[in-house]
């Protein structure tokens, strides 16, 4: 089971300056709900409870870290490689 708290050792996949979102909706299906932003390139994908395009992007690109895109900014930060939440950088 995934660690649901932002604890543990620092994640080497987390960049000091994560990329901003390059779209306002999932780039694959157009969903504007429960979006995730790739911290490496800014790709916007939907969450696993929808079509899972953010996870598909991780598998295709190797970009491990995503951030939750919310109306008021960014929410949680997640590392697919470590399967855990991370402390946000901003």
Domain holding 40: CATH number?
Answer: 3.30.40.10
| 57 domain-assigned | yes
pLDDT over 80 (residue 53): yes
Domains: count for the chain? 1
**Residue 41: band (very low, low, confident or very high) from pLDDT cuts 50, 70, 90:** very high
User: How many residues are there in the chain?
Assistant: 90
Which whole number is the average pLDDT over 56-82?
Answer: 93
pLDDT: which is higher, 5 or 37 = 37
pLDDT over 50 (residue 28): yes
| 12 domain-assigned | no
Q: Which residue has the tokens 């960049």?
A: 15
Structural domain of 68: 35-86
pLDDT over 70 (residue 3): no
Give yes or no for a contact between 35 and 47, defined as CB atoms under 8 angstroms apart.
Answer: yes
For residue 59, the tally of other CB atoms under 10 A from its CB is: 10
pLDDT over 80 (residue 80): yes
């Amino acid at each position: 089971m995934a660690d649901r708290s932002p604890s543990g050792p620092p994640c080497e996949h987390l960049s000091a300056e994560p990329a901003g979102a390059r779209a306002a909706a999932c780039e694959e299906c157009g969903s504007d709900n429960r979006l995730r932003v790739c911290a490496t390139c800014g790709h916007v994908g939907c969450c696993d409870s929808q079509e899972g395009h953010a996870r598909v992007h991780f598998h295709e690109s190797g970009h491990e870290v995503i951030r939750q895109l919310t109306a008021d900014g960014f929410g949680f930060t997640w590392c697919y490689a470590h399967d855990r939440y991370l402390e946000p950088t901003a």
